[in-house]
A and B are shown apart, each in its own frame.
Chain A
Amino acid sequence: MSLDKDTVKNIAYLARIRVDEAQLEPLAGELSSILDWIEQLQELDTDGVEPMASVAAMDLPQRKDVVTDGNCQTAVLKNAPDGEDGFYTVPKVVE
């Protein structure tokens, strides 16, 4: 399977990664070879084999419904480039 330039451009856009026009063609090639490798894996017969969600044989850990966290406004806002009155502020998002 091979990806064309436009598909790569779209994927980059969806991931908000800026890719120069000149890089699209080489990237298409690299991504296509990854897909080829996946295709090769799919030749394996996995009928009747349970999908494996994790290499560790364990159940999803669960928490009790107790408030144990939060109340750290200063800490969560610390890395924000801009803020006011306890809010994060970002360039206006217009709908």
Chain B
Amino acid sequence: MSYVIKGETGDWEVVIGLEVHCQVISNAKLFSGAATDFGAEPNTQVSLVDAAMPGMLPVINQECVKQAIKTGLGLKAEINTKSVFARKNYFYADLPQGYQISQFEEPIVGEGSIILDLPDGTSREVGIERLHLEQDAGKSLHDQDPKRTFIDLNRTGVALMEIVSKPDMRSPDDAGAYLRKLRSIVRYLETCDGNMDQGSMRCDVNVSVRPAGSDELRTRAETKNVNSVRFVMQAIEHEAARQVEVYENGGEVVQETRLFDAQTGTTRSMRSKEHAHDYRYFPDPDLLPLVFDQALVDDIKAGLPELPDERKDRYINDFGLSPYDAGVLVAEKDTAAYFEAVADGHDAKMAANWVINNIFAVLSDKGVGISECPVTAENLGKLLGLISDDTVSTKIAKEVFEIMIETGDDPEKIVEEKGLKQITDTGAIEAAVDEAIANGAAQVEQYKAGNEKVLGWFVGQVMKATQGKANPGQVNKLLKEKLGG
């Protein structure tokens, strides 16, 4: 499924690389002892180190190092037991140091890969170029005052992992799948909460275009700080179309930083000064190289949880689920746990169908996450049990499910109270069948004349007479015996 932009001069393809900044989950900041909690009063989580007072020295937080290693392992990447912190120099009001401590030539994590689960059920691999640790900047509020910008340094110095992909993506769908998978992995690992709307995961999008089938890499434009999966996909669509137009009008794409406008779904040039990219990196003289033993890496590796890809394989191999269904269920850790609780002791395929078709509909209806689902996994499991042992038909089960959504009740109790138990007593069904046949002389004629579709009419009559509680299999069997005889 390739993504092609139809230009006037021919077909074009898009080349995409993403740089994702993930805020590391830790109590304290990367180089200071100040707290990292989101939403605190302005400048209350700022130490003299974060405020860049003269003479303050950075001391690295070992937990942030471990989180970066853990994430690197989750991306099947090589871990560098020696890495170096460098200063990236630029001036901005929310960067009191005048430089960001980052990693440049020697990052903590090298090349890795990530597997995308695409909307059509197929998978493809995208390369990871590197992951490095760096400081976050503070927050600028531009809309508080007509003449002034307000600065909050609470976020200053919080650890970020910048994860850089290779330019391996070829469509907005690829980019969307990449972000979703990356978010899923960091959430499984508990190294980043992955909340794009709170800014704890932010994305810079690099886009270039080229004639379809070519393997050149043309000049790219970078769109900064796009804060949702949908916006990233929109930004790529718009940016690719814009670049095709530039080339087809005889122009050249310039390497620049662009801004995404969520209102219009378009990107625009930041008209940044020509100097903007001259960061003059050099090794930070305040920090020695970060060196650790391979034993630390092995230790963290041994403690890794089951990751989404492995879990997906397990669902396919052990439960016989389709790759698509398995991918959908493992994407969120909580959903996977819910599904496994439902499937425990029941048919896994049936459990998967109920979770994907019914539970997801309820959640999107109510606009809640799986943790607030009105139907508990235990109760859904019980409902599946009632279907499996023929206590209720699938049709009645759907009715019971509707009640469960409203009341959160135990399905066994609902079936008991509402008298929804399926009729499997042959005598009772036979009576209803006989009655239907007696009332439908015309239909009996049609059936005998070879119109088998009319059987549905009889089934309907029997179901009506039994309030839908007759076992459909038995009804069909009896009807065929009696009519065919």
Contact with A along B38-65 (1 / 0, CB 8 A): 0001111111111101000001111111
Given contacts A53-B283, A59-B288, A86-B42, whether A70 and B33 have CB atoms under 8 Å apart is yes
**CB <8 Å contact, B287 and A73:** no
Given contacts A60-B290, A67-B27, whether A13 and B275 have CB atoms under 8 Å apart is yes
**CB <8 Å contact, A72 and B46:** yes
Complex CA gap A53/B60 in Å reads 16
Contact with B along A65-93 (1 / 0, CB 8 A): 11111111101110000101111111111
Given contacts A65-B27, A66-B28, whether A88 and B150 have CB atoms under 8 Å apart is yes
Given contacts A60-B287, A68-B33, whether A92 and B47 have CB atoms under 8 Å apart is no
Q: How far in angstroms is the closest Cβ of chain A from B29? A: 9
For B279, give the chain A residue with the smallest CB separation: A14
Contact partner, B47, options A54, A61, A70, A86, Cβ 8 Å: A70
Complex CA gap A72/B89 in Å reads 27
Contact partner, B65, options A59, A62, A86, A88, Cβ 8 Å: A62
Flag whether A47 is at the interface (Cβ < 8 A): no
**CB <8 Å contact, A76 and B45:** no
Flag whether B262 is at the interface (Cβ < 8 A): no
**CB <8 Å contact, B35 and A62:** no
**CB <8 Å contact, B151 and A68:** no
**CB <8 Å contact, A67 and B28:** yes
**CB <8 Å contact, A71 and B44:** yes
Flag whether A10 is at the interface (Cβ < 8 A): yes
- Hey, which chain B residues are within 8 Å of A10, CB to CB? 275, 278
Q: How far in angstroms is the closest Cβ of chain A from B3? A: 31
Flag whether B319 is at the interface (Cβ < 8 A): no
For A64, give the chain B residue with the smallest CB separation: B62
- Hey, which chain A residues are within 8 Å of B53, CB to CB? 76
Q: Determine the interface band of chain A, counting residues with CB < 8 A from chain B.
A: 35 or more
- Hey, which chain A residues are within 8 Å of B437, CB to CB? none
- Hey, which chain B residues are within 8 Å of A58, CB to CB? 288
**CB <8 Å contact, B43 and A92:** no
Complex CA gap A68/B91 in Å reads 28
Complex CA gap A73/B51 in Å reads 10
Stretch at the interface among B15-23, B140-148, B385-393, B397-405: B140-148
**CB <8 Å contact, A95 and B270:** yes
Flag whether A18 is at the interface (Cβ < 8 A): no
**CB <8 Å contact, B61 and A77:** no
Q: How far in angstroms is the closest Cβ of chain A from B333? A: 22
**CB <8 Å contact, A86 and B149:** no
**CB <8 Å contact, A73 and B93:** no
Contact partner, B291, options A59, A69, A77, A87, Cβ 8 Å: A59
Flag whether B152 is at the interface (Cβ < 8 A): yes
Q: How far in angstroms is the closest Cβ of chain A from B236? A: 22
Flag whether B280 is at the interface (Cβ < 8 A): yes
**CB <8 Å contact, A75 and B48:** yes
Complex CA gap A69/B119 in Å reads 47
- B→A interface (CB under 8 Å): 26-28, 32-35, 41-51, 53, 59-65, 84, 89, 91-93, 140-142, 144-153, 259, 270, 275, 278, 280, 283, 287-291
Q: List 5 A-B contacts (CB under 8 A).
A: A62-B59, A65-B63, A66-B27, A76-B50, A86-B43
| Contacts A62-B59, A65-B61 supplied; 4 other A-B pairs, CB < 8 Å | A76-B153, A86-B152, A88-B43, A88-B150
